Chain A
Amino acid sequence: MCNEFAGGLIHFCNIYSIFDSFLPENLDWMAFMMAAISLAFAAINVVVMATALYILFERRVLARFQARLGPNRWGPFGIFQPIADLIKIITKEDTTTDIADKIVHNLAPIIFLSATLAVIAVIPLGNNSFLGKLNVGVLYIVAITSVNVVAIIMAGWADGNKYSMLGAMRGVAMLISYEIPMGLAIVGVILMSGTMSLSGIVEAQELPFLLVQPLGFLIFLIASIAEMSRAPFDQIEAESELGAGYHTEYSGMKFGIFQLAEFMAPLITGIVVTTLFLGGFRGWAWLPGELWFLIKVFSVVFVLLWIRATWPRIRFDQIMAFSWKALLALAFLNIIILVVEIEIFQDNLGSISLNSLILMGAINWVVTIVSIVFMANALGQSKLKRPKAQPSSLANMYAESE
């Protein structure tokens, strides 16, 4: 499979050829395995270390957003805080409740983390450097992020704790609802690029899709915030209502793995949003592609953090109404408009020129603003209809007997 030598530091074929050079010829499969394992090891460690740094970044910046200071005691600017957290969480006792289903209970954090980690495998991180080249990368991402739902329902059910179960139930209802607008927003990207391969999508972005289809970008961003269950959609672990939600009964490193996966989610979301909507590693030539990629991921993560610092949690019925009434309708509107526009602006070869793209973007921005204002007014005016309060017959028990 690796015939030509490709550029880039972390290309699979480069590592394969290194191992292949000092192994005998009939051991190709071994070189293949070694290359795969070493590459996976490096990728996972990079992501986990980045998450540890991101946790510190999130805590410090969140504190600044709220006029606090954040952790700053341990090392200059508190940079050793993740290490201290890790030592604390490893030395804690690992407990399991008596009525817990032990196998499912122990399996849930592993599935949660591995599903989050596996997304990184298909992302084009820079020019010509891929961890894995998959021609249905988008489908893979949508599929693998759905596995989180299974892990959450496993964790909630296996504990034997009603708060865990409640958190997992409503969390899963929310996650499944938000997968639909998320998928429909991705359909817009696939329509524009004509491929499901992530590297193909990046190549198709002459103009970043953020500028061409802002409505799809907004829907995807909101839906992915809900998918990773962060504020303002943190129904799964609503502290004031459920204790800690699905990981109430977890402690020690199992809880740590949940936390790691939860804090890894914004990074992964930033990477996916960058690839699908911000043009991935594309950028002006005065910086390398990997650096452009990092800058874009960082800015998406900062916006997610800003939203988390600001907006309060939404009530559960509001969350479901927002998904099914607003986002779903807007996603369909996005698809219809894109189909019509592509049909108009496409030339004979099926490609769209840059001028046409700019014109499409202008039309789509107007449509986005008008449709969002319309939707906000339509949904904002409808009041929640409550049933009229009826006095309980039990409450008047003694009054009636007299």
Chain B
Amino acid sequence: MYGFGLIKGLWITLKNLLIPSRMFTVHQYPDRKASPLDLAKINESNLFVYLFSHPLSSIKSLLGLISISDRQKQHPRFRGEEFSWYEERCTGCASCAKYCPLGIIEIVTKPSGKFIPEGEKYFLEKFDIDIGRCMFCGLCVEACPYDALHMGSGFEEGKYSREELVINKQRLVESEKHPSNWFRPQLENKTYNPFGPKSVEWDNVGRHEQPTMEDLEDRWADR
């Protein structure tokens, strides 16, 4: 019969409107409005228990005033923008700069005049990474012999000018460090979450156990 397809089409769109499982197919990137069900899930309680124990925030969330993060979960080996660099581990060998296929890492060093056992090495005057031209291949991280440079785990480094995209030494030192698991199997073995809130210190990211002072004395005694 002619014209029956029109009614079929109306039925399909009505199903889209009414059936809840057809409604949400969208991830809302930065955050989304939380429902009481979401808040109960976060607090690890039942919906009804939550409604009676937190009436104010329940009403707030029903009015659409509470928003929770709705970011897609990344893989732990995600090669993110925010490089993690540990000054304590870096010797200034410039392997990363040599391996970079785009030549965007700029390193200027000067000898510090001290021996390594005493805790000193090359001093880095300049360590710039031009993120604006980086393709995040991760070769610099693979090249680093002392596990000083790591890929980051974040991706929200949007800036308003190209100059701001150059990460300098000061920013690398001061930034929160959430190293990615990219080419760092030692991080995968532990119960380590790159997207966790805690910043990771330099003595926890190496591929070997940290040598004690006695080990160092033994090693350098032969010389």
Q: Which A positions have Cβ atoms within 8 angstroms of B?
A: 61, 64-69, 72, 75-77, 306-307, 309-311, 372-373, 376-377, 379-381
Contacts and interface: CB of A to CB of B under 8 A. Distances in A.
Nearest to A73: B28
B64 A380 contact: no
B22 interface: yes
Contacts of B64: 72, 75-77
Contacts of A311: 6, 9
Contacts of B14: 65, 306
B78 to A, nearest CB: 26
Interface in B10-33: 10, 12-14, 16-17, 22-26, 28, 33
A61 B13 CA distance: 11
B68 interface: no
Given A72-B33, A311-B6, A65 B13 contact: yes
Contact of A380 (B2, B10, B28): B2
Nearest to A309: B13
A102 B9 CA distance: 44
B17 A61 contact: yes
Nearest to B60: A76
B1 interface: yes
Residue among A66, A77, A306, A310 facing the most chain B CB atoms (10 A cut-off): A310
Given A67-B25, A76-B64, A376 B1 contact: yes
Contacts of A68: 25-26
A69 B28 contact: yes
Interface of B: 1-3, 6, 9-10, 12-14, 16-17, 22-26, 28, 33, 63-65
Contacts of B26: 68-69
Nearest to A373: B1
Contacts of B63: 76
Contact of B23 (A61, A64, A372, A380): A64
Nearest to B32: A72
Nearest to A64: B17
B58 to A, nearest CB: 14
Contact of B65 (A65, A76, A376): A76
Contacts of B13: 65-66, 306, 309-310
Given A306-B14, A309-B13, A376 B28 contact: no
Nearest to A65: B13
B10 A310 contact: yes
Contacts of A372: 3
Contacts of B22: 67
A381 B1 CA distance: 10
Contacts of A69: 24, 26, 28
A67 B2 contact: no
A162 B24 CA distance: 41
Contacts of B3: 372, 376, 380
Contacts of A76: 33, 63-65
Given A310-B12, A376-B3, 20 more contacts: A61-B17, A64-B23, A65-B16, A66-B13, A67-B22, A67-B25, A69-B26, A72-B28, A72-B33, A76-B64, A76-B65, A77-B64, A306-B10, A307-B10, A310-B10, A310-B13, A311-B6, A372-B3, A377-B2, A379-B2
A229 B65 CA distance: 37
Contacts of B65: 76
27 contacts: A64-B16, A65-B13, A65-B16, A65-B17, A66-B13, A66-B16, A67-B16, A67-B25, A68-B25, A68-B26, A69-B24, A69-B26, A69-B28, A72-B33, A76-B63, A309-B13, A310-B6, A310-B9, A310-B10, A372-B3, A373-B1, A376-B1, A376-B2, A376-B3, A380-B2, A380-B3, A381-B2
Contacts of B23: 64, 67
Contacts of A65: 13-14, 16-17
Contacts of A67: 16, 22-23, 25
Nearest to B28: A69
A75 B13 CA distance: 27
Contacts of A310: 6, 9-10, 12-13
A273 B14 CA distance: 22
A65 B14 CA distance: 7
A67 B14 CA distance: 10
A349 B9 CA distance: 47
Contacts of A381: 2
Nearest to B24: A69
B93 to A, nearest CB: 48
A106 to B, nearest CB: 38
Contacts of B1: 373, 376-377
A69 B32 CA distance: 11
A372 B1 CA distance: 11
B165 to A, nearest CB: 27
A394 B68 CA distance: 66
A155 to B, nearest CB: 32
Contacts of A77: 33, 64
A190 to B, nearest CB: 29
A372 to B, nearest CB: 8
Nearest to A302: B17
A379 to B, nearest CB: 8
A67 B64 CA distance: 20
